[in-house]
Amino acid sequence: MAHVNENYLKLPGNYLFASIAQKVAEFSKHHPDASIIRLGIGDVTRPLAPAIIQAMHKAVDEMGHADTFRGYGPEQGYDFLRQAIIKGDYHRRNISLDLDEVFVSDGAKTDVACIQEIFGQDLKFAVADPVYPVYLDSNVMVGHTGNYLADKGIYEQVVYLPCTAENGFKAQPPTEKVDIVYLCNPSNPTGTAMSKAELETWVKAAHDQNFIIIYDSAYETYITEEDIPHSIFEIDGAKEIAIELRSFSKCAGFTGTRCAYVVVPHACKAYTKDGKAVSLNPLWNRRQCTFFNGTPYVIQRAAEAYYSPEGWAQCQADVNYYMDNAHTIRDGLIAAGYTVYGATNSPYAWVQTPHQMKSWEFFDLLLEKAHVVTTPGEGFGPHGEGYLRLTAFGTKENTAAAIARIADLKLCK
Ligand code: MLT
């Protein structure tokens, strides 16, 4: 008799964005004429940049000829892309990396969900609250948490780091013992970003308290302020305590194309039960070689083209387009009387619900009355209650129309 993995039964509901999609589908069924504007999931709408498309076409043609055809690629990614990543994302910020410290993958969601596999079963972890749900759900599924406490909206044995208006939505280092901490900077969902000095505090805490930081910088391209680090490796001593995850989804429009990478420095170590230090790099390499046969060649050539001068400029134009939307959301909602955070170094705006409305209640109201899809803050954790997240990844026209519809409801006046 096969037994199920009962950890799955601890999960209270569906994956957040799947639940929202279901709710929206249900609404559409009953209101087929409603013109729904989606500012919920952070899915891009700009087409892939011409330089990227050109590189993909070329790579597709190569796959059609015996002398340039490629079969299984290296599990860690082709050297051409790893070199482009190191040069484009790290050398220009004076960070040196070895080629074998970079692991190309088919998406940061996969990496974020799987990275915990290289740590011990008794792993104790901390997450910001609110937080991107994959960090938490993936750890629940493998048994790194206790039960879900429905009345509190939290799991036993997880350390939650509250991010509130009072602390600028910035997680503070844990005061109790943990093994790893997930940090997303700029933050999904709140759109706020930690400064260099704040990140230095984290790196120091990781050294002093002996924990590893899983640093998700999927949104670093959206940083506009000088003092916000793009990589945790800009901080001295970070290579010993951090793993960094990056994605091509938001900087180059790859949400449907799928490519990302993880940096596991050789210097980053964890311990055996008897106290022996073990480098995490060969462990992640071993894991990838067993579980993964590499990102498709055509996709890696596409990602490489992002780093070409043309690709870089074209993608930056798209990032600017989305940031204009972010400002439309932020400024439009502030003018309508809302309190809005984020949207300065991030494509996400974090909006306080009016009159202390619950976040799902406000989500329903906006769907029903404005036909605008958002993401309720409570879906990201208990401290997300009282907020909604709006994404700037829509079209310019839809974003402006959505904000006008929300303002027209006059809920804050
Ligand atoms: C989000 O909306 O939080 C992200 O798009 C989800 C993801 O990147 O998987």
Q: Tens digit of pLDDT for each residue in 174-195?
A: 999 999 999 999 999 999 999 9
- Give the pLDDT means over successive 10-residue stretches in the chain (413 positions): 97 90 94 96 97 98 98 97 98 97 97 97 97 96 96 96 97 97 98 98 98 98 97 98 98 98 98 97 98 97 98 98 98 98 98 96 97 96 97 98 98 86
Q: Is the CB of 188 under 6 A from ligand 1?
A: yes
- Atom of ligand 1 minimally distant from the CA of 391: 2
Alpha helices in 159-227 (DSSP H): 196-209
Inter-residue contact 406 to 333 (CB < 8 Å): yes
Helix (H, G, I), strand (E, B) or coil at 142: coil
CA distance 316 to 250: 11
C-alpha torsion sign, points 184, 213, 215, 11? negative
- Work out the number of other CB atoms within 10 angstroms of the CB of residue 335: 11
**Atom 9 of ligand 1, nearest CA residue:** 109
Task: For residue range 48-84, list pLDDT tens digits in order.
Answer: 999 999 999 999 999 999 999 999 999 999 999 999 9
Query: How many Cα atoms sit within 13 Å of 324 on the Cβ side?
Result: 11
Q: Is the CB of 42 under 6 A from ligand 1?
A: yes
- Atom of ligand 1 minimally distant from the CA of 17: 2
Best mutation site among 38, 110, 132 for ligand 1 pocket (most ligand atoms within 8 Å of CB): 132
Q: How far is the CA of 3 from the centre of ligand 1 (A)?
A: 32
- Work out the number of other CB atoms within 10 angstroms of the CB of residue 354: 17
- Percent pLDDT > 70 in the chain is 100
pLDDT on residue 87: 98
Q: Is the CB of 192 under 6 A from ligand 1?
A: no
CA distance 170 to 187: 8
CA distance 175 to 61: 55
Inter-residue contact 170 to 198 (CB < 8 Å): yes
Interaxial angle between packed helices 309-335 and 297-306, expressed in degrees from 0 to 180 and rounded to the nearest 10: 70
Q: How far is CA 356 from CA 155, 267, 338, 387, in A?
A: 25, 47, 12, 9
Q: How far is the CA of 221 from the centre of ligand 1 (A)?
A: 15
Instruction: Enumerate long-range contacts of 352-356, CB under 8 Å, 24 or more apart.
Output: 352/165, 352/386, 352/387, 353/377, 353/386, 353/387, 353/388, 354/411, 354/412, 355/411, 356/386
CA distance 268 to 203: 12
Task: Walk me through the domains of the chain, giving residue ranges and CATH numbers.
Answer: 4-45+309-407 (3.90.1150.10), 71-307 (3.40.640.10)
Q: How far is the CA of 106 from the centre of ligand 1 (A)?
A: 15
For the chain, how many residues are written? 413
Q: How far is the CA of 41 from the centre of ligand 1 (A)?
A: 6
pTM, two decimals, is 0.96
Q: How far is the CA of 44 from the centre of ligand 1 (A)?
A: 10
Per DSSP, 150 falls in state T
Q: How far is CA 312 from CA 7, 59, 248, in A?
A: 43, 19, 12
Q: Is the CB of 285 under 6 A from ligand 1?
A: no
Q: How far is the CA of 153 from the centre of ligand 1 (A)?
A: 21
Q: Is the CB of 138 under 6 A from ligand 1?
A: no
CA distance 122 to 45: 41
Q: Is the CB of 109 under 6 A from ligand 1?
A: yes
